[in-house]
Amino acid sequence: MEPTPKFDLPQGTLDLLILRVVALGPIHGYAIAQRIQQISRNALQVQQGSLYPALHRLQYKKLLTAKWAESETGRDAKFYELTARGRAQLKSETESWGRLTDVVALFLEDPQGELS
Amino acid sequence: MNWWQRLFGSERLEQELDKELRFHFEQQVADNIRAGMTEEQARRTTRLAFGDLSQIKEDCRECRGTLWVTSVAQDLRFTLRTLRRDRAFTVVAVLILALGIGANIAVFSVVDTILLRPLPFHDARRLAWIAGNNGIGALSDTTFRVDAYEEIRRRNQSFQDMTAYMPFFASSDAKMTGSGEPRVLAGVWVAGNFFPMLGIQPQLGRLFTAEETVKGGRPAVLLSYAFWQRQFAGNPAIVGQAITLNNHAVTVVGVLPASFDFGGVFHPGVKADIFSPIIMDDDIRNWGHTLSMIGLLKPGVTLAQAQAEAAVVYPQMIAAHPDWTTDLTIKITGLKEHVSGQLRRSLIVLWCAVGLILLIACANLSNLLLARAAARAKEFAMRSALGAGRSRLIRQLLTESLMLASMGAALGLAIAYAIVLYLSHQGSIALPLLSSARIDAGALAWTLLIASVATVFFSVVPSLRMSGVNLQEALKDGGHGNSSGRKHDRMRAALVVSEVALACVLLVGAGLLLRSFLRVLDVDLGFEPSHAYALKVDFDDGGKADRRGAILQEMLRGVRALPGVEAAGISDMLPLDRNRSWDLMAKGKPYSKTTNYDAFVYIVTPGYLDAIGMHLRRGRDISWSDTATSPPVILVNEAAARREWPGQDPIGREAIGIGTGVTRVVGVVSDVHESSVEEAANPEVFVPITQGGPDGAELVVRSKLPPGALAGSVMSTLRSMNPGQPAVELRPIQQLVDHAVSPRRFFVLLVGIFAGLGLLLASLGIYGVISYSVTQQTQEIGIRMALGATQARVQFGVISRTLKLALVGIAVGMMASFAIAALIASLLFATNPTDPVTFVGMILVLVAVAFIAGYLPARRASRIDPIIALRCN
C-alpha cells in the first residue's frame, strides 16, 4: 500500500469538511470517513479518534442531528444530517474559509517576489 | 437531547456509541476483505487503524459536557465512603457544625424579623411614630387629645396622612354576651383610616365605612384572625351578623388577615380580639390624652424634615389653645425604630455571641481535621505517589469539608427551624414581631453563606497542611515518631488557645448579663408578686359611686370569707401592666407650664394594699367611710411625697389635679415599680374607688392555695353576686413581673446557652489536642516510666501542659473581654462591666473545665504499660 501523504488539518477544518460532506444528504460515520478520503484523493485520512468526537460535538452543538436507519448493507447505522443551524454554519464558514485562502494566496503569489 | 437527558440517559448513549463504532469497525473489515484480505488480516488491520477504542469513547463522552458532573459524583461517592468509615469523626464534626450553624440561623431569623425586615405594612419605611412630651413618660404623656390629633393631622405639611389608635385597652375591652358564657374580649379602638393607611386588607368582608366612624352611625366591629378561628371556628358566615358587645348589637363587618398582629407590632404581649372604630365626636373627645399617633410621610420627606416642621408648627398650636394643658413637644421617629430600636443593641450582642460560637466550632473542626490529617498522611502520600496531583488532593479534601458543612447545615437548619418555631409561639416573651419569625428565603441564603464561610474557615489550614506533606517523610514515618508532629502541634495549640479565648469572651459576657438579670430579679418592686392573683371583675353600678361602694364592699366580703384567702382588694390597674397618669400638685405651689406634674393614678378599694403586698409607710389606708360625700382623700407614694412636699410630712396636706377639687393626703405608701422593673418608681397616687371613676376593675386575691382551686371558689362567689360576671382567667401577679423581665430573660437565656455551648466546644478542643498528643507520645511516656517516672509525675506533666494552653487562652480572652464588656455596658443593670466576681468566676470555670478536659488523657497516660508501649514499635 502506498504510504499516504499526511498533513495536519488546521484547527476546526475537520468540522467544516464534515459539515460539507453531510450537506450532501443523510450519511453515517463510516461513509463520511470514506467520502473525505475519496474527495481528497487519499490525501486526507480521518482517524476514528478524531471523527467521532467531532461528530458528537457537532451533534451536541445542534449543527447535526442523527437518527438510526438501515444502511446499504442491511445493518442499523447512525445517519447524520445537517440542521438548519448547521446549514447556516456551513455557509458562513465556507465564506470565511474562502476569504482566508484568498488572503493567504495574495501573500504566497506575491508577483514582485518581495517576500521571497 | 439536552444536557439533563445526556446526564441521566448516559446508559443509552453508551450503547449507541458502542453500536456506532462497532458498525464502523465491521464496515471497515468488510471493505478490507473485499479488497482481498483474509478475515483475520482484515480484523487485525482495522483494529490497528482504530487505535485505543476506550480513548475514542472517552473523547466522545467529553463532548457531552457532562463529564465534570460524573467526576464530582465520583468524588462525592468516595467522600461518603471515607466519612462512613470514620463514623465517630463524622458524627462529632456534623454535630459541632450543626450546633454552630443552627444557632446562627435561629438568631439570624430573630434579628431579621425584629430588626432588619421592614414592618409588615404598606410603605412601611415611610411610617412614623408621633409621640407627645418628647416621647418620654407614661402613656398619658405620649398620647394626644382628640382635638390635638385632628389639628395636627390637618395642619402639618410633612405627612401624607395620619392615623391613631387608643392604647388604653381597658376602656376598649368589651363584654360579649349572647354566645355561651359571657366573656371579656380584648378590644382595640382604631381611627377609621387605620387599616387603609397601613395597607391592611381584610381576609373576609370589608373595613369600616365612613358612616360607621361617626356618632350615631351603625356600630361595626372587625375580628382578628385568631379570635375568628377561636370563637367562630373560622366560619365565614359570621361576617354580616351581629354580636352583642357591652349589651349592644354590633355588626361584624370583616375579618382581618392572619398576618396582621397588632400586639406583636405595637404592644408586645397584648392580645387583640376585636377592632372598633373610634367615634371621634363621642365622649372620647373629653377624656384627655387618649390617642397614639402614626403618620405616613409624604414621599421624599425625611423624618428630620418632619421633626423640624413640628418644632415650628406645634408651639403655634399650643399658643392658640390655652385649654391644652400639656405641652406638645412632639417627637417623630420611624415606626420601625419605635417598635424595635431599643432592642438593637441586645440583638447585635446576641448576633455577635452566636458568631463567636461559629468561630469556636470552626476552630474545633479545624483541629479535628488536623488530627485526621496526621492520621491520613500516609494515605495521601500514597495517592500522591500514585499520581494524584496536588490540586486533585485539595479538591478531595474540600469535597470532604463541603460534605461535612452541608450535612451540618442541613441538621443545623432543622435545629433552627425547631428553635424558631418554639420562639414564635412564646406569647409570654415581650419582644415585638417575634410571633412572625420564620425560616424564610433570607434565612436559607444566610445558611448558605455561613456554611460556605465556615467551610473555608475550617478546611483551609488542614487542606494546605495535608496536601503539602513531604512524600518521603510521610511514607518513611512509622507513625509513632513525633518528629513530623512539631509544626502540627503548634498549629493545633494555637487553635485551642483561640477557642479558649473566644469561649472566655462569651462566658464573661454571659456572666455579666446573668448577674444583671439576677440583680433585676432582686429589685424590691414595692409589692409582693408571689401568691397573689388578679382577675377582671364586672359589676353594674349605673355610674353611681355609692352603689359602686356597696357592691364592691359586698363582693370583697364574700371573697375574703373564702377559705384560704388572706387578703383581697380591687384596683382598676395593676403595677407593670397598663397605666395612666394625671397631674398631682401640692396646693399653693406656683404652676409652671414646663414642669412635669405627672403622677400615675390607681383607683383602689380599701384592702388593696394588703392584697398586692404594698407597704403603708405612714398615715392610714383608705376606708369604706371615704365616700362620694365625704372629703376627697388620696394616698401618695414616697416619690410623689418627695416631689411635691420635699422635706415635709405630706400627711394632711392638700393637693390639686386629682379629680376636680382639692384632695387631702391621708397616707404614704412605699414606691412601686409601676411601669418597669429596671427604672426607678415614679410619683403615684391612690384614689378611693368611691371617690373616683375606675377604668375597669381587677380583683387581687392573696392566697397560698393553688390557683386552680382558688379560681373555682372565687368565680362561683362572683357569679352568685353577678350572673353576668364573664369567664376570665386568674392571672398570677408574678406573670406581670415575668412579662416585664421577659426580654432580659430571653437574652440572658440565649447568651447563656451560647456560652455553655462555647465552653463545651472549647473543652472538646482541649481534650482532643491533649488526648492526641498523649497517643503520639505513648512510646516516649513508656520510656520515661521505664526509667522510673511515677504515675503522678506523668499525670502532672500532661495536666500542666493542658493548663498552660488554657491559661494562655484565658489571658488573651480576658483582655478581649474587658474591651467587649465596655461595649455591652449599656445592657447591664446594676453591674459594673469590670465586675470582679464575674471575671474571677469565669476564670475559675474555665480552669476547672480545662483541668477536667486534661485529666482524662492524663489518667490514660499514667496507665500506659511501659512494656507494651515499647513493644509496639
CB-nearest partner of A30 from B19, B28, B64? B28
Residue of A nearest to B16 (CA): A78
Kindly tell me the number of DSSP H helices and DSSP E strands found in chain A.
4, 3
Shortest distance, CA B447 to any CA of chain A (angstroms): 37
Q: Which of A28, A51, A56, A63 to mutate: most B Cβ within 10 Å?
A: A56
Which secondary structure element, helix H or strand E, spans residue B713, and what is its range?
Answer: helix B707-721
Answer whether residue B777 shows pLDDT above 60.
yes
Q: pLDDT tens digits, residue range B169-196?
A: 878 888 888 877 888 889 999 999 999 9
| pLDDT, average across residues B439-444 | 90
CA-nearest residue to B57 within chain A is A53
Question: How many domains are there within chain B?
Answer: 4
User: Which residue type is seen at B548?
Assistant: R
Give every CB contact of residue B722 below 8 A, 6+ residues apart in sequence: B538, B539, B540
Cβ of A73 within 8 Å of Cβ of B59? The answer is no
Determine, yes or no, domain membership for B86.
Answer: no
Q: How far is A86 from chain B (nearest CA, A)?
A: 16
What's the domain count of chain A?
1
| B349 and B308 both lie in a single domain | no
Mutate to test the interface with A, among B5, B16, B24 (most CBs of A within 10 A): B24
Is A115 contained in some domain?
A: no
Please give the biggest Cα pair distance in chain B: 139
Mean pLDDT of B466-471: 62
* Domain containing residue A66: 13-108
* B104 domain residue, yes or no: no
Contact B60 A77 (CB under 8 A): no
In a domain? residue B85: no
Examine the fold and report which residue of B46, B65, B84 is the final residue of a domain before the chain moves on: B65
Q: Tell whether the model's pLDDT for residue A1 goes beyond 50.
A: no
Model pLDDT, residue A3: 41
Specify whether the CB–CB gap between B172 and B194 falls below 8 A. no
Q: Are residues B303 and B171 in the same domain?
A: yes
**A1 assigned to some structural domain:** no
> Which B residues 82-101 touch A at CB under 8 Å?
none
Highest mean pLDDT among B67-81, B164-178, B404-418, B661-675: B404-418
User: Is A33 among the domain residues?
Assistant: yes
CB contact under 8 A, B59 and A30: no
Query: Is 0.80 topped by the overall pTM?
Result: no
Among B329, B358, B379, residue at a domain's last position: B329
**Contacts of B677 by beta carbon, 8 Å cutoff, 6+ apart:** B520, B523, B525, B576, B737, B740, B741
Domain annotation covers residue B298: yes
Rounded CA gap, B487 and B493, in Å?
A: 10
DSSP state of B295: E
Range of the domain at B41: 3-65
DSSP 8-state code for residue B566: E
User: Would you state the pLDDT for residue B481?
Assistant: 44
Q: How far is A27 from chain B (nearest CA, A)?
A: 12
What ipTM did this prediction achieve? 0.86
Indicate whether B637 and B721 sit together in one domain: yes
* Chain B contact probe: residue of A37, A75, A79 with most B CBs at under 10 A: A75
Q: For B99-112, what is the mean pLDDT?
A: 93
C-alpha cell at B164: 391613631
B55 vs A contacts (CB less than 8 Å):
49
Residue B484's pLDDT band, with cuts at 50, 70 and 90, is very low
**Is the model's pLDDT at B94 over the cut of 50?**
yes
Asked whether residue A3 is assigned to any structural domain, the reply reads: no
Q: Which carries the bigger pLDDT value, residue A53 or residue B473?
A: A53
Residue whose entry in the numeric block shows the C-alpha cell 509525675: B793
Q: What is the CATH number of the domain that holds A32?
A: 1.10.10.10
- Please state, rounded to an integer, the average pLDDT across all residues of chain B: 86
Cβ partners under 8 Å of residue B828, min gap 6: B512, B513, B515, B516
Residues 1-40 of B with CB under 8 A from A: 1, 6, 16-17, 19-21, 23-24, 26-28, 30
